[in-house]
Amino acid sequence: MLGTTNYLGEGLWYLPRVFSQQNDYINVKRTYRETPTQWQMLSPNRIMAMPNNYDALNTIGAQLEGPLTALTGIANLKCSNVDIFIDLPGHKLAWHFDHNNYKVLLQLYTGEKEIKHGGTHWYIGDQNPALLAQYGTDSIVPHSGLTQTETPYMPFAGYVNDNTQRKAHGTNIVPAGVARESVLFTFG
């Protein structure tokens, strides 16, 4: 079910094509684009679909459990949540560590256009444990001087993050004229 995976280090894989079958992409996008969806404003320039756990997306999440268990080596993964976000021009996700409510996250970029430097930027390095101890989860982490690895924002691309290997990450500001659209599958 998963497409080609490129290991970037510390439990992070970039997937130039998340799914091996085009039909899986179509089903994900159709779920929230062709179904009546209400949107909740989370912050200026960021909206989230409500409700977020569509049956069709939960089915795809369940189908991903085996391939993600094999990829990450984390036993018995179960899809616990699916969120749909649209980051509008001007949105920037500050650098942070995710909470530990899940073990693995798969983010599928579902927008129609490539966004140069618009993917998620990660710090893969030995300072992560000290930064996590100092700043904790969901707090802004300064990233000046940290080497960045990007999971580029391309249509139908995405990444798999083993959240048990904690990594600071964030995004750049979404430029005018585009939206950063994505679906996040979390697994516990």
Domain 6-187 part of CATH 3.40.47.10 = no
What is 60-108 written as a DSSP string? HHHHHHHHHHHHH--TT--EEEEEEEEEPTT-----B---SS-SEEEEE
What pLDDT score does 119 carry?
Answer: 98
pTM, entire model: 0.95
What pLDDT score does 165 carry?
Answer: 97
pLDDT digits (tens, 9 = 90+) for 138-171: 799 999 999 999 999 999 999 999 999 999 999 9
pLDDT digits (tens, 9 = 90+) for 113-124: 999 999 999 999
Residues lower than pLDDT 70 in the chain:
53
What pLDDT score does 164 carry?
Answer: 97
What gap in Å lies between CA 139 and CA 19, rounded to an integer?
32
Residue 65 pairs in a beta bridge with none
Neighbour count for residue 6 (Cβ, 10 Å): 11
What pLDDT score does 81 carry?
Answer: 94
Q: Where are the domains of the chain?
A: 6-187
